[in-house]
């Protein structure tokens, strides 16, 4: 018979720390007063949006998830929207401001 003993305490601690970190991120994302959405990098399809984003866009979460900003017609200036989307694909910093 062969027995293997492993100390799983370190692994449990790491998993617990990861879970707590994910919970903190989720809570801060959801409760943020700034509109925010998360999209996949390769195709920019939304996977999540916070309540402020939904309020400003006028869409429900079920309408946003699985679609792109272009499909939702979120860009007033289509060429500016494409430029922002390219920066996101290139992992370049994007500074957005809202006027008015």
The answer to whether 41 and 91 have CB atoms below 8 angstroms apart is yes
The answer to whether 69 and 75 have CB atoms below 8 angstroms apart is yes
Q: Please give the tally of structural domains in the chain.
A: 1
Domain boundaries, position 56: 33-95
- What φ, ψ does residue 22 adopt, rounded to 5°? -65, -40
Question: Rounded to 10 degrees, what is the CA torsion of 52, 89, 84, 77?
Answer: -90
13 within a domain of the structure (yes/no): no
64 within a domain of the structure (yes/no): yes
pTM to 2 decimal places: 0.75
Q: What is the pLDDT of residues 46-70, one digit of tens each?
A: 999 999 999 999 999 999 999 999 9
CA nearest neighbour of 46 among 22, 72, 24, 27: 72
pLDDT the model gives residue 99? 47
88 within a domain of the structure (yes/no): yes
């Amino acid at each position: 018979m062969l027995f293997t003993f492993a100390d799983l305490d370190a692994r449990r601690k790491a998993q617990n720390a990861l879970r707590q970190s994910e919970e903190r991120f989720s809570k801060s994302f959801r409760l943020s007063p700034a509109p925010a959405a998360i999209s996949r990098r390769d195709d920019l399809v939304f996977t999540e949006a916070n309540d402020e984003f939904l309020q400003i866009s006028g869409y429900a979460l079920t309408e946003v998830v699985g679609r792109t900003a272009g499909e939702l017609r979120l860009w007033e200036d289509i060429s500016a929207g494409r430029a922002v989307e390219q920066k996101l694909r290139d992992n370049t910093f994007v500074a957005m401001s809202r006027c008015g």
